[in-house]
Every structure is written in C-alpha cells, then in structure tokens.
Amino acid sequence: MQLQAAEQTATHEEETALVERVRQRDTAAYQLLVRKHLRPLSGYAARMLAGAPEAEDIVQETLLRLWTHASRYRADKSRLTTWLHNIAHNLCIDYFRKHKRLQPLENQDAAETLLVTTGPDTGQQQQEVQRHVAAAMMKIPERQRSAVIMCHYQGLSNREVAEILGVSVRALESLLVRGRANLKEILEHEH
C-alpha cells in the first residue's frame, strides 16, 4: 500500500514536471502525456457515447485543452488524470445537451460501430455481450452513466469522481447504487 502510494506520488511529480514543460511549448513533453492518457480517455468517451464517432472528437478536444490550457492545471489540487476526466466529462455533457438524448443501439449501423471499436479479434458471443452492456449503459441517465464508468473503468477514487461530478461522496454513492441497480435490471431483463 505504501509502495503504491509512493509510486503514485512519483508519477504525479513526473507529470507535474511534464505539464510545466508543456506550458513552455515543449511538444515532446506533450506527446508523452498524450500517450499516457489517450487510452483511458478514449475508453471513457467511447463508453459515454456508446462508440459514436464524436467520442474521438471529445478525446481530441480534451487533450488539445491540455496544450492550450496547461496553465490552468493545479497540481496541488488534483492529479492530471482527474483534471482531464473533468474536461472530458463536461464535453460529454455538452454533447448530450446539444444532441438531446442518445438513442440506444437499436440500429445496425450503431451496432457495427460498437463492433469496430472493440477490435476485430473479439469473439462473436463476447461482441454480443458487449453490445448488450453498451445498450444498457445508454439507457441509464447520463450522470449515473458517468459515475459508473469513472468508478468502474477509469481507476479514479470516489473522492476524485465526486469532485468531477460536483457532489459529495455520499451523493456519488447514491448515483452509483442507482446506476448499477438500473444496469443490473436492464441486463437481467434482456438476458
């Protein structure tokens, strides 16, 4: 536990130094940070938007803001991953507001999009399960979805997720309980 905390501290210090270099317009430092955070952010946006192409735009915009707004990142307030997820979360919410409610994966095009994003080597049965999970995720409210995704997939602590959502930890747990319960009910009903 102490070693893990020490590793996290070292990583945080390294990232803080890289962000400082980004502020000085160091593209090499920026690329290192992009490589580190691209996959988790891509996973978050893809799950929030069920693999819609706009998820790539959100990831790109999030990481572009690391370049244009690096001066706004406060290392003493949060980890860089928390800051980036905060940006990505807000961009997703903006997207939903503009596009009202995302439709569930009922049409073949959307289903095929999901298959592409999961990789060609995924077995057919597993693809079917993934499609059900993605469809179920789209049926729960966006805040519950974001809470579940960030807590389950993104490696963020409950305090970090609560900070991103602007709620207390207790309120976060309420979101998570309802979100996971809804998902369970939808998935059990479909199976």
Partner 1 sequence: MNIERFTTVLASYGASESRWPEAERAALADFVTVNPTARALLVEAQQLDDLLDTWTPATPAHLEADIMAALPRPYSERLLDWLLAPGAWLRPGFAAAMMLTCGVVIGGFYPDGDNAEDTGYWNDDLALMALDDNFDEDVTNDN
The Cβ of residue 44 has, within 10 Å, a number of other Cβ atoms equal to 25
| DSSP-assigned states of every residue in 70-124 | GGG--TTT--HHHHHHHHHHHHHHHHHHHT-SPPPS-SHHHHHHHHHHT-TTS-H
126 binds partner 1 (CB under 8 A): yes
Q: Which of 15, 19, 42, 89 binds partner 1 (CB under 8 A)?
A: 42
CB half-sphere exposure, 145, CA atoms < 13 A: 23
Smallest distance from partner 1 to CB 13, Å: 20
Smallest distance from partner 1 to CB 109, Å: 17
Smallest distance from partner 1 to CB 112, Å: 14
27 binds partner 1 (CB under 8 A): yes
Distance CA 64, CA 139 (A): 30
Question: What Å distances lie between residue 110 and 16, 58, 115, 190, CA to CA?
Answer: 39, 18, 9, 18
82 binds partner 1 (CB under 8 A): no
Q: Which of 11, 16, 86, 118 binds partner 1 (CB under 8 A)?
A: 118
34 binds partner 1 (CB under 8 A): yes
| Size of residue set near partner 1 by CB under 8 A | 46
Cβ proximity of 138 and 149 under 8 Å = no
171 binds partner 1 (CB under 8 A): no
Any idea what the Cα angle at residue 73 is, between residues 72 and 76, rounded to 5°?
A: 125
Site residues (CB under 8 A) for partner 1? 27, 30-31, 34-35, 38-39, 42-43, 46-47, 51, 56, 59-60, 63-64, 67-68, 114, 116-119, 126, 129-130, 133-134, 137, 148, 151-153, 157-158, 169, 172-173, 176-177, 180-181, 183-184, 187
